[in-house]
Amino acid sequence: MSTAQIKKSLHKYVDTLDLPFLNAVHNLIKAHVEENSIVGYNSKGKPIAARELRTRVKSSQARMDKGQFISHEDVEKEAASW
The pLDDT assigned to 43 comes to 94
The pLDDT assigned to 46 comes to 95
The pLDDT assigned to 73 comes to 93
Q: How does residue 28 score in pLDDT terms, banded at 50, 70 and 90?
A: very high
Task: Give exposure, 41-54, as e/b (b: 16+ Cβ within 10 Å).
Answer: eeeeeeeeeeebee
The pLDDT assigned to 29 comes to 94
What letter would DSSP give residue 12? H
